[in-house]
A and B are shown apart, each in its own frame.
Chain A
Amino acid sequence: MNSIFEIAKSGLFSARQSSTIVSNNIANANTPGYTRQRADLSATVMRKNGYTVGRGVTVKQVEQLRNHLTDQQIMKKDSALGNLNEQNRVYKQLQSTLTSNSGNGLDTQLSNFFNAFSQLSNNPQDISQRNALLSKAKTLMAGFHNAANNLENIARQTKKSAQSRVKKINDLLQNLQSVNKEIARSHANGKPDLNGKDQQTQQLKSLSKLVNVGKIYNKNGTVEVRIGGITVLGGGQVSTVKAETAPGKHVFRLRLDNGKLIKPGGGALAADQSMIQTVIPNTEQHLNNMAKTLVQQVNKIHSSGYGLNDSVQRNFFNSTNISAQDISINKSLLNNPGNIAASSAPGEAGNNNIAIKLSNLQNKKVLNNQTLGSNAVSLMSKPGNRITELKSQIDTQKSAKQLLFNQQQSQSGVNIDNQLTNLIKYQNAYQASAKVITAGRQMSNTLLSIV
């Protein structure tokens, strides 16, 4: 009889542990990152007189139904998606900066400016045409200034968000360090910290969205983390990542507190770095080249002609201000529109040769084997084209991640429908068994009374 009680006791203990695990699974069904747990039961046996006698059941271990390979693949997708989404965000800002909803973009402003010279050539003596030309030139200048200032703002904002990401990386590394300590302590006590493992995976996933993460799992369940091949967490030590920037310069570097430079390699931070160091400077450079070419080409023709008032040859734009940010119209022209050179000879008010030459400039391939208008269109359409490419890449990565996520859910997720169905089955069987046992008990009582 004693052995029966021992077996039942071990059974009750195992059943209690199993039920607690099922309850925990269900309570965490909606917890992001929670991995389903399972009690691994094993029979306890004893050898007696050469026979194996069952001694009940024991919970050998509680295991997590998590596939590390799937986790690894999901983290890679997270890293790629983090990178693409951040690129997409910055390109959208660039697009809204360079294009105009009213259709009055840099290309239109350039076209209006050159068309104003064409209008002037029809009536070179007309002051109102000269004023109209100056007005178009001012609009074009404002267009260049706005675009340059907005690009600078985007660069500044991107640096700011990159810096906040660096702070987040440091927070995540600190959290991982704490989780590592808990996991190591639990492992030393012989009780694996499964919730800690879930937290560890969640923190690594968050980190993967920001940078490319290399991971090495130790036997005690702790994890060593590398960024750009350099260890930032391991051996009980955690490094601090610092962002290096220079005001007004297109520099963004990551340096560890031990002085080593690291490369993000992927994730949103790599996208930020690429935007700050390459994409935004290239866009600025293109805009500046356009401004410089416009100043040089227009001045070259304009300074060979004459205005209405004297025989002085003047530049149309200030020749020293050749960047998009400070491009400006010659003050003597603004003060006296008569000084705009339309004529190729002094004292010939009706001469329109220079105005025609300047008007024709819009069709000349003066930069990158393209006209200035085409350069503007190319500059404006680049972010849009890139956004289209990114959108398709994001969609592909998202569906690949969804597939992996579904795979992970089938392995690790808690399916409440299944749990509920099982519980109903159990409850019905228990009730049926109890009913039969009660009937048997009455029978035994009758027999005992007559034996």
Chain B
Amino acid sequence: MKQTSENSTNASLNRLKKIINQLIDEYEENCSLLNDQIQAVINHDITSLNELIERQVRVYETLKSSEEIFKKHLKEVRQRHDLSSQSLQEMLNDLEEPTQTLNAMRDRLHAQVRKTEGLRNQLMDLLNFAKRQNAEIFKAICEAGSDKMGGYNADGEKQRQSNSYAINQKA
């Protein structure tokens, strides 16, 4: 009976290892995608950027389902061992079985998620910068009317006015 229980615990922990491994692989792929997106923004390569965004959405779908599986399996392990711990880290501390491999895998996953987070922040900064620059260029376009479209302000100084007609003229 004890043998059966031990086998069942090992199978459950092996399954957890597989799920974590899969999550690590998927986060690595995500990192690579984020790197490619950073490069595409830098190179003004909109075609690649659009393709990468589509791939990113697909990767998120996979990650989401892997994460659900991970959460579900974590719950099962917790119930099987009658543990109250909420996180994997706490659970591994509470388990009686040796968990060095799982601990190392958890650390790898944690580091990978952090790395992904860093890249995401980097890409967000880059995107915000690019959007701001674009907005400035839009403003320049709107002010690219001819001088005839300009007027005078209350102080009598010449002032250019934004003109949507002028920007549609062929240069």
Q: Name the one of A23, A414, A427, A437 contacting B171, with C-beta atoms under 8 angstroms.
A: A414
Q: Counting CB contacts under 8 A, is B13 at the interface?
A: no
Are A57 and B144 in contact, with the CB atoms below 8 A? no
Q: How far in angstroms is the closest Cβ of chain B from A422?
A: 8
Are A451 and B106 in contact, with the CB atoms below 8 A? yes
Q: Counting CB contacts under 8 A, is B77 at the interface?
A: no
Contacts of B122 in A (CB 8 A): 4-5, 8
CA distance A434 to B118 in the complex (A): 14
Are A12 and B129 in contact, with the CB atoms below 8 A? yes
Q: Counting CB contacts under 8 A, is A330 at the interface?
A: no
Are A426 and B170 in contact, with the CB atoms below 8 A? no
Which residues of A, 1-37, contact B by the 8 Å Cβ criterion? Answer: 1, 4-5, 7-8, 10-12, 14-16, 18-19, 22-23, 26-27, 29-30
Are B89 and A451 in contact, with the CB atoms below 8 A? yes
Are B110 and A448 in contact, with the CB atoms below 8 A? yes
CA distance A449 to B118 in the complex (A): 17
Are B141 and A420 in contact, with the CB atoms below 8 A? yes
Q: A440-B60, A449-B87 are contacts. A416–B141 as well, Cβ < 8 Å? A: yes
Q: A420-B141, A450-B87, A451-B88 are contacts. A4–B119 as well, Cβ < 8 Å? A: yes
Are A443 and B63 in contact, with the CB atoms below 8 A? yes
Interface flags, A119-132, vs B, CB<8A=1, else 0: 00000000000000
Contacts of A29 in B (CB 8 A): 144, 171
Which residues of B, 12-58, contact A by the 8 Å Cβ criterion? Answer: 23, 30, 34-35, 37-39, 41-44, 46, 49-50, 52-53, 56-57
Q: How far in angstroms is the closest Cβ of chain A from B135?
A: 8
CA distance A446 to B71 in the complex (A): 10
Are A440 and B120 in contact, with the CB atoms below 8 A? yes
Q: Counting CB contacts under 8 A, is A216 at the interface?
A: no
Are B60 and A426 in contact, with the CB atoms below 8 A? no
Contacts of A449 in B (CB 8 A): 87
Q: Counting CB contacts under 8 A, is A444 at the interface?
A: yes
CA distance A189 to B71 in the complex (A): 62
Are B46 and A437 in contact, with the CB atoms below 8 A? no
The closest CB in chain A to the CB of B30 belongs to A440
Q: Counting CB contacts under 8 A, is A430 at the interface?
A: yes
Are A446 and B67 in contact, with the CB atoms below 8 A? yes
Are A12 and B110 in contact, with the CB atoms below 8 A? no
Q: A interface, how many residues as a size bin? A: 35 or more
CA distance A15 to B43 in the complex (A): 8
Contacts of B129 in A (CB 8 A): 12, 15-16
Q: Name the one of A4, A7, A56, A433 contacting B127, with C-beta atoms under 8 angstroms.
A: A433
Q: A11-B41, A41-B43, A429-B50 are contacts. A437–B130 as well, Cβ < 8 Å? A: no
Q: Counting CB contacts under 8 A, is B86 at the interface?
A: yes
Are B126 and A11 in contact, with the CB atoms below 8 A? yes
Contacts of B46 in A (CB 8 A): 425-426, 429
Contacts of B23 in A (CB 8 A): 447
CA distance A29 to B70 in the complex (A): 57
The closest CB in chain B to the CB of A23 belongs to B140
Main secondary structure of the interface of A (DSSP, over half): helix
The closest CB in chain A to the CB of B166 belongs to A30
Contacts of A296 in B (CB 8 A): none
Main secondary structure of the interface of B (DSSP, over half): helix
Are A430 and B134 in contact, with the CB atoms below 8 A? yes
Q: Counting CB contacts under 8 A, is A432 at the interface?
A: yes
Are A57 and B131 in contact, with the CB atoms below 8 A? no
CA distance A446 to B63 in the complex (A): 12
Interface flags, A254-288, vs B, CB<8A=1, else 0: 00000000000000000000000000000000000
Contacts of B117 in A (CB 8 A): 441, 444, 448
Q: A451-B106, A451-B109 are contacts. A18–B140 as well, Cβ < 8 Å? A: no
Q: Counting CB contacts under 8 A, is B81 at the interface?
A: no
Which residues of B, 100-127, contact A by the 8 Å Cβ criterion? Answer: 106, 109-110, 113-120, 122-127
Are A443 and B60 in contact, with the CB atoms below 8 A? yes
Are A19 and B42 in contact, with the CB atoms below 8 A? no
Most buried by B among A7, A14, A23: A23
Q: Counting CB contacts under 8 A, is A439 at the interface?
A: yes
Are B113 and A416 in contact, with the CB atoms below 8 A? no
Contacts of A429 in B (CB 8 A): 46, 49-50, 53
Q: Counting CB contacts under 8 A, is B159 at the interface?
A: no
CA distance A451 to B87 in the complex (A): 5
Q: A23-B137, A429-B53 are contacts. A450–B120 as well, Cβ < 8 Å? A: no
Are B140 and A27 in contact, with the CB atoms below 8 A? yes
Contacts of A416 in B (CB 8 A): 141, 144, 167-171
Q: A15-B133, A431-B131, A433-B53 are contacts. A450–B88 as well, Cβ < 8 Å? A: yes
Contacts of A430 in B (CB 8 A): 41, 127, 130-131, 134
11 A–B contacts from the bound complex (CB under 8 Å): A12-B126, A18-B44, A41-B43, A415-B171, A416-B169, A416-B171, A426-B130, A434-B124, A436-B57, A450-B88, A451-B110
What 9 additional pairs, Cβ within 8 angstroms, besides A430-B127, A436-B56, A443-B63? A4-B118, A8-B126, A15-B129, A19-B136, A27-B140, A433-B123, A436-B53, A440-B120, A441-B120
Which residues of A come within 8 Å of B, CB atoms?
1, 4-5, 7-8, 10-12, 14-16, 18-19, 22-23, 26-27, 29-30, 41, 54, 56-57, 409, 413-417, 419-420, 423, 425-427, 429-434, 436-441, 443-444, 446-451
